[in-house]
Amino acid sequence: MSKIENVRVRFAPSPTGPLHIGGVRTALFNYLFAKKHGGAFLLRIEDTDSTRFVEGAEAYILEAFAWLGIAFDEGVGIGGPYGPYKQSERKSIYKKYVDELLEKGLAYYAFDTPEELDAMRKRLEAEKSRSLQYDASTRQDMKNSLTLSPEEVKEKIENGTNYVVRMKIDPGETLVVNDLIRGKVEVQSDILDDKVLYKSSDGLPTYHLANIVDDHCMKISHVIRGEEWLPSAPLHVLLYRYLGWSESMPAFAHLPLLLKPDGNGKLSKRDGDRLGFPVFPLQWKDPKTGDFSQGYRENGYFPEAVVNMLAFLGWNPGTEQELFSLEELAEVFSLERVNKSGAKFNLDKALWYNQQYLHKKSNEAILPAFKSILKEKWDTGVMGEDAKNEAAILISNEKKLLQIIGLVKERMHFTKEFWEQTYFFFVAPTTFDEKVIKKRWSAETPTHLQQIVALIAEEPNMDATVLENKVNLFIENNALNMGKIMNCLRLSLVGTSMGPHLWDIVEIIGKEETIKRIDFACKTISC
RNA sequence: GGUCCGUUCGUCUAGUUGGCCCAGGACGUUAGGUUUUCAUCCUAGAAAUCAGGGGUUCGAAUCCCCUACGGACUACCA
């Protein structure tokens, strides 16, 4: 696939809360597209709605991408030649273009109060009017610079009356958006309303104007964003024209939405709480309510797994390969392979991806996670208090810990499962699974186990294979029931019928501990 | 309501220039195998009349039309 020159794309979130995985995927696709073509990927913060600003949201966004390994080339927190990258810091830039549109007669002042706007909609509704919009068919009945005399307008502005600037859209024109994913989309200008571009209340533009001005000033080549923007794309095309920038207008690509796993509709924050999976990359604490929302990071997902899983929602490489690193994704990514229809989020697949990445990791790579869980368990006292006990010795033996990881890694999906998979290496069972006792334990079991204890006791070489061969030979020679003996042995050492190869466990916990546990089980279990 | 977008196994999807597709892969699911156990792993299977209907064509999941259904948007939010 040929490279496109001078690619510059941006991710432009609003700091109105934590970043949701739909947004993360949009950012990811932008990033991949930029890397694929050797272009630049920028982060712009769209904070033109001062009323919705949420403390900490911006820091959250930066931290989330740092965790995911998605790096920006320019933008908030990084800097760059086209800054500032935060819209609230670009006020004066927008004002210039608002004035230009006003001068050209492509925009006008409107003084209607929220109550008056509300009344207008109610009136239109009552009249069964087809459109409830502020547009060419209704603006002549409202208070704006098209209906008021120049003197009245001047007076109102000088009096400090709040106003907005609306884009003047005339009917009867077909607007065309050439979308890279959806093809040609046509819309009649009649259905567009006279969008508010600027509000005097805070001196800031609204999304539509700020977006177009910034994309132009920052030399954005491709606008890759969610499908929810498709309906307003024709308006944006028109704005580029109003500002005389049609020639350099970026290409558009509207991504399919991420949908709820059950039912239909956009994936939302609530779905995560309701269905019990994270909707955010990182945990988020709502500064107002203090409520926590789960995050992939805190739930134990690897960033590589989250990236890989997200990349496959709405896109695929067209081959049967499913595991891709971020670098590999950047190599094969293309917008032509992005789907048109929305993708339902699938938790099972997310789990599977994490498992795949866990299995791919070296034992050394996940040792720190194992150690921190062990430390936490040690601190809570579940392994006893004696600083020199068996568990303490084992914890300090890195070689053994790596050996244990090798034994249990394949059985896990997350590193957080370490304790449930390895507790028996550190803590002797005190209770025994009743079901196993019922099924396997019998009156003569203690006798047989003691015979095996004797075999273990005399064995100088505590090697898993050596012990296995020795005990198997004993079982065969005495015509004992292999399944029964082995399960009772496991029950004695682990407390239940789960876990890795028995003799590997014995090799690690050692002769003394093994014998101690079997003795305890024989004394404790009665039938 | 209006406008726009979409519709292949339960889910993510392959299928882009019509024939190799009575539709392939993955997740999940079922069965069997491996294992002393659980998990992993391996093998096999079930699972989409390609939303429905009508065309065009020797031939359509792939092209055209209609219908249905779903979604997004419809703020001085982004």
Q: What is the ipTM of this complex?
A: 0.95
Give the pLDDT confidence score for residue A460 in this predicted structure.
86
Q: Determine the nucleotide nearest to A228 by Cα–C1' distance.
A: B72
Establish whether the CB of A115 is closer than 7 Å to any nucleic acid atom in strand B.
Answer: no
Contacts of A355 (CB under 8 A, 6+ apart): A412, A413
How many other C-beta atoms are found inside a 10 Å radius of the C-beta of residue A1?
10
Query: Is A527's pLDDT higher than 60?
Result: no
Is the pTM for the entire model greater than 0.90? yes
Establish whether the CB of A162 is closer than 7 Å to any nucleic acid atom in strand B.
Answer: yes
pLDDT tens digits, one per residue of A76-133 = 999 999 989 999 999 999 999 999 999 999 999 999 999 999 999 888 888 877 778 9
Report CA(A317)–C1'(B20) in Å, whole number: 22
Q: Averaged over A244-267, what is the pLDDT?
A: 92
Residue nearest to nucleotide B76 (CA to C1'): A199
Report CA(A221)–C1'(B27) in Å, whole number: 36
Query: Is A265's pLDDT higher than 80?
Result: yes
Mark whether A219 is an active-site residue.
no
pLDDT tens digits, one per residue of A352-385 = 999 999 999 999 999 999 999 999 999 998 888 7
Establish whether the CB of A79 is closer than 7 Å to any nucleic acid atom in strand B.
Answer: no
How far is it, in rounded angstroms, from Cα A355 to Cα A351?
Answer: 6
Q: Averaged over A39-68, what is the pLDDT?
A: 95
Report CA(A253)–C1'(B39) in Å, whole number: 44
Q: Determine the nucleotide nearest to A494 by Cα–C1' distance.
A: B37
Question: Could you tell me the pLDDT band of residue A272, with boundaries at 50, 70 and 90?
Answer: confident
Query: Is A391's pLDDT higher than 70?
Result: yes
pLDDT tens digits, one per residue of A207-246 = 999 999 999 999 999 999 999 999 999 999 999 999 999 9
The catalytic residue among A269, A344, A416, A516 is A269
Query: Is A3's pLDDT higher than 90?
Result: no
Residue nearest to nucleotide B41 (CA to C1'): A410
Q: How high does pLDDT run on average in chain A?
A: 93
Establish whether the CB of A430 is closer than 7 Å to any nucleic acid atom in strand B.
Answer: no
Hey, what amino acid is at A147?
A: T
**Protein-proximal positions, strand B, CB < 7 A:** 1-8, 10-16, 25-28, 35-41, 70-78
- Nearest alpha carbon to residue A226 among A12, A481, A462, A466: A12
Could you say which residues 273-312 of protein chain A have a Cβ atom less than 7 A away from any atom in strand B? 312
pLDDT tens digits, one per residue of A305-352 = 999 999 999 999 999 999 999 999 999 999 999 999 999 999 999 999
Please state whether beta strands A204-205 and A196-199 pair in parallel, antiparallel, or not at all (unpaired). antiparallel
Q: Averaged over A433-448, what is the pLDDT?
A: 90
Q: Which two tokens stand for residue A126?
A: 């009552």
Q: What percent of chain A has pLDDT over 90?
A: 83
